């Protein structure tokens, strides 16, 4: 398997890494298991202190870490810096709130007394994607380290320098050896690793295929899994939306991270009363985006993460057009070196056309016109995915009513689907199951242990 940095701005290889041998992997799992036996006995204060140290180091090294993100997967540098800030905030959030989240819950049984105690379960395996190399790690590692678990992390093969840098942060923060371990291995070997008895749970963010493979292996060995598998988020524009602000958020929602977000706004659904106004302004805004070197702070749209990703997205667009979709803007690879795709809008989409069902992971928006609110809801729910979605309206109660009828794990009103430490993140349907972040996220990989105290004379 190839583990290497390829700069997607130039498609030139920068650095390569060797895959770890079975002997090395076994030693690292053993080290993680050994670290767990000690870390589970540490105090919440000790755990919090470590998380704060990691957060501080992230902020101190923000410029270098952000440039590594941009080098490896093409994220615009200003957004890469924002990712480091967000990741540090997540570490601080769980350091500040973890103990309260994990406090014993007192029950009131008919006889005696009882509590629910949140206990760590052991070594956890994380399988993380390239699109947010630090944030994806943070939302998995930070809460579980606070719980008392230890972490093995297999990162995407195209961001190896990010993966190594994360492990170095923990080393510099003086984390116990084996608390956080980076694994340079293939996806195939990752699925096999799930069967290791020393690993007690798995979290994966990635494709449906990867999720199904890992979940099947975990199920075979009776292990807990959390899956976040992408989405096809809707962006519904109702007739009373503030149009100028809605268009601003539409651009951010679709083009953030060069369009490569699981929760990116991908399907734009406008009621017919305002559809022409929205699409005219949206098209104009996308056509003016500055495409270029992601290291340049003035760049608004950089390359896709890899040449393979760009080829795949261009093929999805071509197949969709061949099947009857119409191109309102773009539709082709950008005329420059690197893994670039033009800002693109597709319309005239119907069931049977590739872009109607498939997730388009890049700067391609799909646009639909519907008669009314109910038609928008029906179209929104006609998807195999169920991650997030947005509703734009000045009538907040109406927005809540629409949100309640959308079959996703998250719905935002007057804002694209997004993430922050204190909001739960996760989906339904083919977008996976389980939650990350907030209080919900810290309780996915815990043993909710009942401790009951009875009087000897209590009835059976």
- Express each pLDDT in 267-318 by its tens digit: 999 999 999 999 999 999 999 999 999 999 999 999 999 999 999 999 999 9
pLDDT at 460: 80
* Average pLDDT of the residues in 390-419: 98
Marked catalytic residue, from 72, 81, 217, 228: 228
* Average pLDDT of the residues in 402-416: 98
Q: What percent of the chain has pLDDT over 70?
A: 100
Task: Residue 69: name the closest of 154, 125, 145, 9 by CA.
Answer: 9
Alpha helices, DSSP H only, in 230-271?
243-255
54: CB partners within 8 A, 6+ apart: 88, 91, 142, 169, 170, 173, 175
pLDDT tens-place string over residues 411-427: 999 999 999 999 999 99
Which pLDDT band, with edges at 50, 70 and 90, does 191 fall under? confident
Length reported for the chain: 460
pLDDT tens-place string over residues 318-349: 999 999 999 999 999 999 999 999 999 999 99
Structural domains for the chain: 3-229+431-451 (3.40.605.10), 233-413 (3.40.309.10)
Give yes or no for residue 42 having a pLDDT over 80: yes
Q: Residue 377 and residue 346: Cα distance in Å, rounded?
A: 20
* Beta carbons of 393 and 238 less than 8 angstroms apart: yes
Q: Residue 427 and residue 408: Cα distance in Å, rounded?
A: 6
Which pLDDT band, with edges at 50, 70 and 90, does 1 fall under? low
Strands (E), 206-340: 224-228, 233-237, 265-271, 326-329
Q: Residue 303 and residue 294: Cα distance in Å, rounded?
A: 7
* Average pLDDT of the residues in 217-229: 96
Give yes or no for residue 8 having a pLDDT over 90: yes
* Average pLDDT of the residues in 350-362: 97
Mean pLDDT estimate for the chain: 97
Give yes or no for residue 13 having a pLDDT over 70: yes
How far apart, in Å, are the Cα atoms of 246 and each of 53, 156, 374, 402?
39, 34, 20, 17
168 classed as catalytic: no
pLDDT tens-place string over residues 376-388: 999 999 999 999 9
pLDDT at 68: 98
Which pLDDT band, with edges at 50, 70 and 90, does 457 fall under? confident
* Beta carbons of 344 and 316 less than 8 angstroms apart: no
Q: Residue 39 and residue 344: Cα distance in Å, rounded?
A: 50
Tokens of 10: 């130039």
Q: Residue 411 and residue 320: Cα distance in Å, rounded?
A: 27
pLDDT at 2: 83
């Amino acid at each position: 398997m190839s583990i290497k940095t390829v700069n997607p701005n130039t498609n030139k290889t920068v650095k390569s890494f060797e895959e770890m041998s079975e002997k090395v992997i076994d030693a690292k799992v053993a080290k993680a298991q050994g670290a767990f036996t000690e870390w589970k006995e540490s105090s919440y204060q000790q755990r919090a202190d470590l998380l704060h140290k990691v957060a501080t180091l992230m902020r101190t090294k923000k410029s270098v870490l952000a440039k590594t993100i941009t080098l490896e997967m093409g994220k615009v540098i200003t957004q890469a810096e924002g990712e480091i800030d967000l990741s540090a905030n997540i570490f601080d959030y769980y350091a500040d709130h973890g103990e309260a989240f994990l406090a014993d819950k007192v029950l009131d049984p008919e006889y005696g007394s009882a509590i629910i105690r949140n206990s760590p379960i052991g070594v956890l395996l994380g399988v993380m994607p390239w699109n947010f190399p630090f944030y994806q790690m943070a939302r998995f590692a930070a809460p579980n380290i606070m719980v008392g678990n230890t972490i093995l992390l297999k990162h995407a093969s195209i961001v190896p320098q990010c993966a190594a840098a994360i492990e170095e942060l923990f080393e510099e923060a003086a984390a116990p050896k084996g608390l956080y371990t980076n694994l340079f291995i293939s996806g195939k070997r990752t699925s096999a690793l799930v069967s290791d008895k020393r690993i007690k749970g798995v979290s994966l963010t990635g494709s449906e295929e990867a999720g199904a493979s890992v979940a099947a292996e975990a199920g075979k060995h009776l292990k807990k899994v959390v899956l976040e598998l992408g989405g096809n988020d809707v962006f519904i524009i109702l007739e009373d939306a503030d149009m100028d602000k809605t268009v601003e958020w539409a651009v951010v929602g679709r083009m953030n991270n060069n369009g490569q977000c699981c929760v990116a706004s991908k399907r734009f659904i406008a009621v017919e009363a305002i559809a022409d106004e929205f699409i005219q302004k949206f098209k104009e805004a996308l056509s003016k985006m500055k495409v270029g070197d992601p290291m340049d702070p003035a760049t608004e749209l950089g390359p896709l993460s890899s040449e393979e990703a760009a080829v795949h997205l261009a093929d999805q667009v071509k197949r969709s057009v061949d099947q009857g979709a119409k191109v309102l803007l773009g539709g082709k690879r950008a005329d420059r070196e690197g893994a670039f795709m033009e800002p693109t809008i597709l319309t005239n989409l119907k069931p049977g056309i590739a872009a109607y069902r498939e997730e388009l992971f890049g700067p391609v928006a799909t646009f639909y016109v519907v008669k009314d609110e109910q038609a928008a809801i029906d179209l929104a729910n006609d998807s195999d995915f169920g991650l997030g979605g947005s509703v734009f309206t000045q009538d907040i109660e109406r927005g809540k009513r629409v949100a309640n009828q959308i079959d996703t794990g998250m719905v935002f009103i007057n804002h694209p689907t997004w993430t922050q430490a204190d909001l739960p993140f996760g989906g339904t349907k083919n977008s996976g199951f389980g939650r990350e972040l907030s209080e919900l996220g810290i309780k996915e990989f815990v043993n909710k242990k009942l401790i009951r105290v009875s009087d000897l004379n209590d009835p059976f």
